[in-house]
Amino acid sequence: MSVLNGKKILLGVSGGIAAYKTASLVRLFIKAGAHVQVIMTPASKDFVTPLTLSTLSKNPVHSSFFNQDDEDAVWNNHVDLALWADLMLIAPATSNTLSKMTTGNSDNLLVATYLSAKCPVYFAPAMDLDMYKHPSVLSSFTALKSFGNIMIPAESGELASGLSGEGRMAEPENIIAFLEADLESKLPLKGKKILITAGPTYEAIDPVRFIGNHSSGKMGFDLANEAANLGAQVILVAGPTHYKAKNGLVEVINVVSAQDMYDVCHEYFNNVDVAIAAAAVADYRPKVVASQKIKKAADEFSIELEKTKDILASLGAIKKNQFLIGFALETENEIENAKLKIQKKNLDLIVLNSLQDEGAGFKKETNKVTFIDQDFKIEPMELKSKESVAVDILNKVVLHFAKS
């Protein structure tokens, strides 16, 4: 799966012959799973039509500050467009547009949006040979790179003038490859391997019945997706759940019982950098599992239970350099119980949930957690979506490696 998958890309098209290549570029972005919006300078519409790029991007194309044919003259908000984007690409970037970007001459929607962008900005120059080497253009390259913008160098070949040399906009396939390589190199968890557990476990009573809990697995799957988005190699050990990993790079290992999950976790733990135990593992299981369905006969029926193996404690006992994160779901004495778990299970961080908090717990789209680290520093968080909580947890992981 491409690192561009799910990314919101704002493509700025300026007025050069290379604009015809943007149709292929948009198509490749969409194929990679990106969401694309296009801004065109008025001059660029002489080389490629807004209808073409709108059809390929599946979004309206913007080219002016307001729509001329709209009786209400609705403003195309350049600030909203800039804030929407995860990255902005200006391709082709003509000498005229480069100069305006350098000086802040925002006489068109594209440059105004560029000046409002807070995301990474890439530019792919395209112009004739002598223009590409002119001191004024070279100074634009230097200035834009000093602003933190990233240049995708032009390629050599036959130019529109008939000359041959440097100045051709990079081919769409090469632009995609450049962006993917640059984004991957900056992912904060690139090269890290993370083990995550998710969901409930089911402990069999007989062939049709089990002891389980209400965990949906959403928190663990959100953690796995976010970790993969940050560049980590993710192994997700999932109990019974209907959730699927959104990021195709997540390796999912499906298990049923606590013993299954224990075995898989111990198989992989020694070779990971981080383990996050988000699963709601059953504490007890039937001591004897009936081989046939138990018939409803007696008025009373009892099952003898035995403890399951404590997966998190067992990982803490053999931990070397792994960053180990556990979850605690409590109903009383929450902070005290969470602190005890940190010590007993040799954790680096615990994520505390309380069933007393509205919006937290099983089968909810939201969660309200408190972080407690091994030094007992307590950090309560606001109620957030589970996706946002996953981001907060992975930020703790990123910070850990930044310090080490």
Triad 189, 194, 200: Cα angle to 5°: 135
| Final residue of a structural domain among 162, 185, 208 | 185
Whether residue 359 lies inside any domain: the answer is yes
Q: Are residues 134 and 273 in the same domain?
A: no
CA pair distance 357, 372, nearest whole angstrom:
17
Residue 271, C-beta contacts closer than 8 angstroms, at least 6 positions apart:
193
Whether residue 395 lies inside any domain: the answer is yes
Count helices and strands in the chain by DSSP H and E runs: 13, 22
CA pair distance 339, 257, nearest whole angstrom:
27
User: Strand 369-373 and strand 378-380: pairing?
Assistant: antiparallel
What type of residue sits at position 99? S
- Domain enclosing residue 59, as ranges: 8-185
Note if 395 is an active site residue: no
| Final residue of a structural domain among 185, 216, 248 | 185
Burial class (CB in 10 A: 0-12, 13-18, 19+), 201: buried
CATH number, domain containing residue 41: 3.40.50.1950
R_g (Cα) of the chain, nearest Å: 27
Whether residue 294 lies inside any domain: the answer is yes
Instruction: Find where tokens 């948009």 sit.
Output: 26
Q: Are residues 33 and 54 in the same domain?
A: yes
Q: Are residues 256 and 132 in the same domain?
A: no
Q: Are residues 210 and 181 in the same domain?
A: no
> End-to-end alpha-carbon separation of the chain, Å?
30
Whether residue 2 lies inside any domain: the answer is no
Of the candidates 337, 100, 332, 363, the residue with the CA atom closest to the CA atom of residue 216: 363
Residue 185 CB: number of other CB atoms within 10 A? 10
Q: Are residues 264 and 368 in the same domain?
A: yes
Residue 72 near residue 94, CB atoms below 8 Å: no
User: Strand 164-168 and strand 155-158: pairing?
Assistant: antiparallel
Task: Give the residues across from 314 on adjacent strands.
Answer: none
CA pair distance 230, 391, nearest whole angstrom:
10
Q: Are residues 179 and 202 in the same domain?
A: no
Residue 200 near residue 212, CB atoms below 8 Å: yes
Distances (CA, A) of 346 to 190, 263, 321, 334: 26, 20, 12, 18
Residues in the chain: 404
| Final residue of a structural domain among 169, 185, 201 | 185
Write down the pLDDT at residue 162: 78
For the chain, the farthest-separated pair of C-alpha atoms sits apart, in whole angstroms, at 94
Write down the pLDDT at residue 105: 93
Helical packing angle, 135-146 and 95-103, nearest 10°: 50
User: Strand 366-367 and strand 305-307: pairing?
Assistant: unpaired
Q: Are residues 281 and 164 in the same domain?
A: no
Phi, psi of 10 (to 5 degrees): -105, 115
Whether residue 357 lies inside any domain: the answer is yes
Of the candidates 202, 182, 164, the residue with the CA atom closest to the CA atom of residue 120: 182
Q: Are residues 199 and 314 in the same domain?
A: yes
Which stretches of 319-356 are DSSP H helices?
A: 334-345
Q: Are residues 223 and 351 in the same domain?
A: yes
Residue 139, C-beta contacts closer than 8 angstroms, at least 6 positions apart:
102
Q: Are residues 238 and 119 in the same domain?
A: no
Residue 82 near residue 118, CB atoms below 8 Å: yes
Entry pTM: 0.81
Whether residue 1 lies inside any domain: the answer is no
Residue 215 near residue 367, CB atoms below 8 Å: no
Whether residue 366 lies inside any domain: the answer is yes
| pLDDT, block means (10 residues), the chain with 404 residues | 90 96 97 96 95 96 76 74 96 97 94 96 94 95 97 89 84 97 94 97 96 93 95 97 91 97 98 97 95 88 94 97 92 87 96 72 78 95 93 96 85
Tokens of 150: 């990233």
Number of structural domains (the chain) is 2
Q: Are residues 209 and 266 in the same domain?
A: yes
Q: Are residues 108 and 44 in the same domain?
A: yes
Residue 62 near residue 53, CB atoms below 8 Å: no
Query: Catalytic: which of 5, 77, 105, 213?
Result: 213
The SS3 assignment for 4 reads: coil
Instruction: Find where tokens 């003898």 sit.
Output: 304
Instruction: Find where tokens 């383990």 sit.
Output: 275
Q: What is the dihedral of CA 372, 377, 383, 388, to 10 degrees?
A: -70
Write down the pLDDT at residue 231: 93
CATH number, domain containing residue 249: 3.40.50.10300
Whether residue 167 lies inside any domain: the answer is yes
Residue 338, C-beta contacts closer than 8 angstroms, at least 6 positions apart:
328, 330, 350, 352, 370, 372
